[in-house]
Amino acid sequence: MSSTVHENVKNYYGSRLETSDDLQTNAACSMPSRTLPKSACEALKQVHPDVCKRYFGCGLVIPEKLEGCAVLDLGSGSGRDCYVFSKLVGERGQVIGLDMTDVMIVASQKYVQYHQEKFGYSKPNTVFVKGYMEKLSDAGIQNNSLDVVVSNCVICLCPDKRTVISEAYKVLKEGGELYYSDMYASKAVPDSFKEDPVLWGEGMAGALYWRDLITLMKDIGFSTPHLVAGSHIVVHNPELQRKTGDVKYASGTYRIFKIPQNSIKTKALVTYKGTVPDCAECFEFDASHYFKTNVPVEVGAEMAAILQNTRFSTDFNISMLETTGLNQSSTPQYCHLSPFLLADKLGSSVKQCSKTGH
């Protein structure tokens, strides 16, 4: 699977970058457009400081209700997110961190026992394996074996995104979730960007035009992406500003589901029970869907199918609505899925970030 792009990225993250401060953008510390759940904050505080120091992610990739789940982190880097997941999935859960860089695998493996003892587990629930996102089976990851696949600002570093997303689809169980943050471009990135190793290493050459994400996911079989968070990415380096010109960048976090192909898709009246951990009064599913406890809400056909067929099925009372003429022929505009528009709306563009890596 090795290619020139892979080798450049390996070198960039394996030796050139020592800490998140070495990045040429604010991607590693973009302010999320919603707060972390309490349990995630507590878990993050318990992660070893040396692990956080080499964190290069660009957003928030901690979905709700992970107790007992099997989670795969694509491009796990220093292991920061994996160790947060290790705490959140509990001793019965499983976390796999996959990275193609030897330096990162060695660095992350050093702290497995530390976190096992920190969390009070009788045995480790986290492993790190070397491999490529484009060929998960070569890393020993089985099809239909995972509840959640996450990634934090790594898919933009990969030249073949269709294969990466297809592989994620294969390894997820039916009802499983792909929940990831990545760097997105305001328009299609010129081919000339892809010849620059620094632009590749910073994620700018490989950033997907955000509208192309929707088409890609639907083609592979996933649900429509649901935008969770978005913030503008600021390019600090004047030379990179000159190279990228009028192409703007944003961090976007999306959640996408592998809905069973035979699931019934019709509108429904759903009532949230208040049972998702950390979400007793309201479950903020994404930037457009807020479910208040014990308040019935009508949802569209695809959202109804997601709530029925995923790990959230027991958290809702769902009554299917007999409807006809759902206006399936109209072309959705998807403007509400733009990370740029969400960042503008929430004013999350130029907030000063900390230098702690989280």
Select 268-324+332-354's CATH number: 3.30.519, 2.60.90, 3.40.5, 2.40.128.
3.40.5
Looking at the predicted structure, is the pLDDT value of residue 196 above 70?
yes
Query: Coil, strand, or helix at residue 211?
Result: helix
Asked whether the CA dihedral 64, 39, 56, 204 is positive or negative, the reply is positive
AA letter at 350: V
When pLDDT is cut at 50, 70 and 90, the band that residue 197 belongs to is confident
- Give me the DSSP letters along 303-331: HHHHHHHSTTGGGEEEEE-------TTS-
Top-confidence residue, 342 or 122: 122
**CATH 3.40.5-classified regions of the chain:** 268-324+332-354
Q: pLDDT for 126-166, tens place per residue?
A: 999 999 999 999 999 999 999 999 998 889 988 899 999 99
Residue 237 is predicted with a pLDDT of: 84
> Is residue 195 predicted with pLDDT exceeding 90?
no
Answering whether pTM is above 0.85, one says yes
Question: pLDDT above 90 covers what percent of the chain?
Answer: 64
Angle between helices 210-220 and 161-171 (to 10 degrees): 40
**Residue 269: left if φ>0, alpha if ψ -120 to 50, beta else—which one?**
beta
- Residue-wise pLDDT tens digits, 296-333: 999 999 999 999 999 999 999 999 997 644 444 344 56
The reported pLDDT for the residue numbered 59 is 58
Quick one: pLDDT band at residue 17, thresholds 50, 70, 90?
very low
Q: Which region among 28-37, 70-79, 250-259 has the lowest average model confidence (pLDDT)?
A: 28-37
- Rounded to 5 degrees, φ, ψ at 297 are -140, 135
Considering the segment(s) 1-258 as one domain, its CATH architecture is 3-Layer(aba) Sandwich (3.40)
Supply the pLDDT for residue 11: 59
Residues of the chain within CATH 3.40.50.150 domain(s) are 1-258
Residue burial 116-125, b: 16+ Cβ < 10 Å; e: rest:
beebebeebb
Whether 39 contacts 165, CB under 8 Å: no
Q: Check: CB of residue 28 under 8 Å from CB of residue 20.
A: yes
> Nearest-CA neighbor of 107 among 166, 179, 184, 51?
51
For residue 213, the tally of other CB atoms under 10 A from its CB is 23
